[in-house]
Amino acid sequence: MGNDRPVKVFIYDTTLRDGSQSEGVTFTVEDKLRITQRLVDIGVHYIEGGYPASNPKDKEFFQRAKSLNLGETKLVAFGSTCRPNIKPQDDANLQELLSVETPAVAVFGKSWKLHVKEVLRTTPRENLRMIADTVRWLKLNGREVIFDAEHFFDGYKDDPEYALETLLVAEEAGADWLILCDTNGGTMPKEVAQTIEAVKDRLSCPFGIHAHNDSELAVANSIIAVQHGATQVQGTINGYGERCGNANLCSVIPILELKLGISCIGRENLKKLHDLSYFVAEVANQVPNDRQPFVGRSAFAHKGGMHVDAMLKCPLAYEHIDPQLVGNERRILASELSGAASVVAKALEFGIKLDKDSPTTRRILRELKWLGMEGCEFEGADASLELLMRRYLGQWRESFSVDSFMTIVEERNGEIWAQASIKVRVGDKVFHTAAEGNGPVHALDSALREALERFYPEVKRIRLTDYKVRVVNSSAGTAAKVRVTIESADERGSWCTLGFSTNIIEASLKALVEGIEYGLWRMSNASKNEAGGE
C-alpha cells in the first residue's frame, strides 16, 4: 500500500452541483460565481459547475463563468451517458453538455446491473455501448472526459466482472479519469481497499474516488482510496450534498497535506481553508458547523482546566496540529470547568496580566464556577467575561446604570406592539424615556439608546446584529432560567455579551446594557490609542 500512495492528488470540487442537492441549500447564479472564485483562489483543480441539461440557471452560470479568471483550475460540466438506443450525437442532454464549452466534462454511467436493468430498463451490453460511445464522442469533441462509474462499489459486490468492464470500455474509448463512486454511501473502508486492490492493476488511466457520507465514512473512504492509489478526490466544502452529504473536502485536504504529506492545494492555500468553510456556509445560508474538524471554531477550543494548563505548557498535548496551518485559531473557554490557568490564559487574550496564584485570580475563578453552577456560561460572550475580570481588578467604571424599567405588550388591530420605559442614570443625572417596538426587547433597546444618546452620541454607531435565547433548566418549564446572548457591532468589529435571569426581559436588558457599555469602552480606548500614536 505504501508504494501505491501518490505524491500528488487532484481535488475535484462538486459543491456547486452535488452540494446544491443538500436539503435546504440553494445557490443563485451570483452565489455560484462567488464560490467559484474562492475555490480558484484556494487552488482547487476541478470545479464541477452544474448540470446544464437540467436547468437554465446552470447554463447561465457556465456562460457567465467564461469571464472569470480561473488560472489553472478547470471548470467541469456534468451530465450522463447517452440514453439507451440513442447515439451520443443525437442525445439532447449531451448536446447541452457540449454547448457550455467547458474544457472538461464529467459523465456518469451505470456500473451496477441492478440500475442497468431496473432503472435504465436496458441490457448490460447496451449499457456498455452507451458508456463507450459517449466517452468516444466527447473525446472527438476535444473534451477532457471524467467518467463517473456510478454505484461502482455496490456494482462490484454484485458482479465484479461487469463493474470492471464498465471501467475498461470507458478507458478504451479514451476517458482521462475513471472515478469509482460509492453513490449510496454504504461501503466500508476495508471493502473500498479490497475493491481498489482488485481492479487497479487492470486499469491504465488514473482513477479517483467519489464517496457519499451515509455511513459517516466518506472522508475515511476517500483517504483509504488515496492510500491505495487514487489520484483524484471528489467532494464538497463542508460535506454538503444529497441525503447525508459528500466527502468533506475541509477534512480531506488537510489530512492529505498534513497527515499523509501528499500535495494537493499546497500549504499556503491550506491557510485559507477555515475562511472558505465559513464563506460557503454563509452563501449557502447554512448555520456553520463549529464542531467541524480542522476548520470549525470549536476544533481548537479548550475548556477543561487541566487540558488548558497542559496545552499552554505544550500545545501538542491537546492539539493534533497547529490551528494556524488551516487558518484557524486556538480558543480558551472560561466556565465552571476552568482552572486558574484557563483564567490567566483568557485574561491574556484581553490584554490583562494575571498571576495564576493571586487572590484576584482565585476570586474570578470562584465567580466563574458559581455562575456556571447556576447555568450562566461565558462561552461565546467574551465581552461580558472581560467586563467581569476588569471589575474585579478595579479597571472598570460604569458609563451609566439603569435605575428601573417597565415593558407593556399589547395587540393593536391584529398586530403585536410593545412599549418600554426606562430610567437611566448618568453621573448624578437621571433620564426617563419611553419607546415603542415590535417586541419588548426592541422597545427596551430603543428607549435605552434614546436616553444615552444625549450623553454618548457615539451610541448611534453601535448596532445589534444577533440575539439568541437559551433555556438553561428546561425541566422548570416557564419558570426556567434563560441565558440571552447579544452580538453588537460597530465599524471596527463585533463583540458578544450575555444576560442571565429567570425573566427573559431582564436577561435581555442585562445583555443590552453590557453590549453598549463594552462598545463605549472600546471606542474610548481606540480614541486614546490613536491620540497616543499621533
Q: Is the per-residue pLDDT at 333 higher than 70?
A: no
Q: Is the per-residue pLDDT at 528 higher than 70?
A: no
- What pLDDT is recorded for position 304? 60
Q: Is the per-residue pLDDT at 325 higher than 90?
A: yes
Average of per-residue pLDDT across 283-301: 89
| pLDDT range class, residue 531, cuts 50, 70, 90 | low
Give the lowest-confidence range in 14-18, 190-194, 290-294, 480-484.
Answer: 480-484
- What pLDDT is recorded for position 213? 98
Q: Is the per-residue pLDDT at 372 higher than 90?
A: no
Residue 195, burial from CB neighbour count under 10 angstroms (0-12, 13-18, 19+): buried
Average of per-residue pLDDT across 460-479: 77
**CA angle (483, 488, 490) in 5-degree steps:** 170
Give the lowest-confidence range in 111-120, 288-297, 354-363.
Answer: 354-363
* Model confidence, pTM: 0.74
pLDDT digits (tens, 9 = 90+) for 38-59: 999 999 999 999 999 888 899 9
Place of cell 475493491: 195
Q: CB of 473 within 8 A of CB of 464?
A: no
Q: Is the per-residue pLDDT at 479 higher than 70?
A: no
Q: Is the per-residue pLDDT at 474 higher than 60?
A: no
Give exposure, 264-290, as e/b (b: 16+ Cβ within 10 Å). bbeeebbebbbbbbbbbbebbeeebbe
Give exposure, 3-41, as e/b (b: 16+ Cβ within 10 Å). eeebeebbbbbbbbbbbbbbeebebebebbbebbebbbe
Closest residue by Cα to residue 229 from 277, 276, 178 = 178
Q: Where is 108: in which H helix or E strand?
A: strand 104-110
Q: Is the per-residue pLDDT at 478 higher than 60?
A: no
- List domains and CATH numbers for the chain: 2-283 (3.20.20.70), 301-392 (no CATH), 401-533 (3.30.160.270)
Q: Is the per-residue pLDDT at 403 higher than 90?
A: yes
Question: What is the torsional sign of CA 351, 355, 360, 366?
Answer: positive
Query: What is residue 421's DSSP assignment?
Result: E
Q: Is the per-residue pLDDT at 323 higher than 50?
A: yes
Q: CB of 170 within 8 A of CB of 147?
A: yes
| pLDDT range class, residue 227, cuts 50, 70, 90 | very high
Residue 29: what are its φ and ψ, rounded to 5°? -60, -40
- What pLDDT is recorded for position 102? 97
User: What percent of the chain has a predicted confidence (pLDDT) above 90?
Assistant: 66
- What pLDDT is recorded for position 476? 55
C-alpha grid cell, residue 218:
466518506
What 3-state DSSP class applies to 420?
A: strand
pLDDT digits (tens, 9 = 90+) for 379-390: 778 888 888 889
- What pLDDT is recorded for position 468? 87
DSSP assignment of 445-497 equals: HHHHHHHHTTT-GGGGG-EEEEEEEEES-GGGGGG--EEEEEEEEETTEEEEE
> Strands (DSSP E) along 196-337, which ranges?
207-211, 232-235, 301-302, 331-332
Q: Is the per-residue pLDDT at 1 higher than 50?
A: no
Question: What mean pLDDT value characterizes the chain?
Answer: 90
| pLDDT range class, residue 480, cuts 50, 70, 90 | confident
pLDDT digits (tens, 9 = 90+) for 2-39: 457 889 999 999 999 999 999 999 999 999 999 999 99
- What pLDDT is recorded for position 394? 87
DSSP assignment of 182-216 equals: ETTS---HHHHHHHHHHHGGG--S-EEEEEB-TTS
Average of per-residue pLDDT across 235-263: 97
Q: CB of 327 within 8 A of CB of 271?
A: yes
Question: Rounded distance, CA 221 to CA 250, Å?
Answer: 15
Q: Which amino acid is at 7?
A: V
Which is it for strands 429-437 and 482-490: parallel, antiparallel or unpaired?
unpaired
Question: What is the torsional sign of CA 319, 320, 325, 328?
Answer: negative
C-alpha grid cell, residue 514:
453590557
Average of per-residue pLDDT across 340-362: 82
pLDDT digits (tens, 9 = 90+) for 156-210: 999 999 999 999 999 999 999 999 999 999 999 999 999 999 999 999 999 999 9
pLDDT digits (tens, 9 = 90+) for 81-90: 999 999 999 9
User: What percent of the chain has a predicted confidence (pLDDT) above 70?
Assistant: 93
Q: Is the per-residue pLDDT at 360 higher than 90?
A: no
Question: Rounded distance, CA 51 to CA 99, Å?
Answer: 12
| pLDDT range class, residue 237, cuts 50, 70, 90 | very high
Q: Is the per-residue pLDDT at 493 higher than 70?
A: yes
pLDDT digits (tens, 9 = 90+) for 433-455: 999 988 888 999 999 999 999 89
- What pLDDT is recorded for position 2? 42
Average of per-residue pLDDT across 231-236: 98
Q: Is the per-residue pLDDT at 397 higher than 70?
A: yes
Selected residue with higher pLDDT from 1 and 312: 312
> Strands (DSSP E) along 375-426, which ranges?
401-412, 415-426
Question: Rounded distance, CA 529 to CA 376, Å?
Answer: 33
C-alpha grid cell, residue 404:
428601573
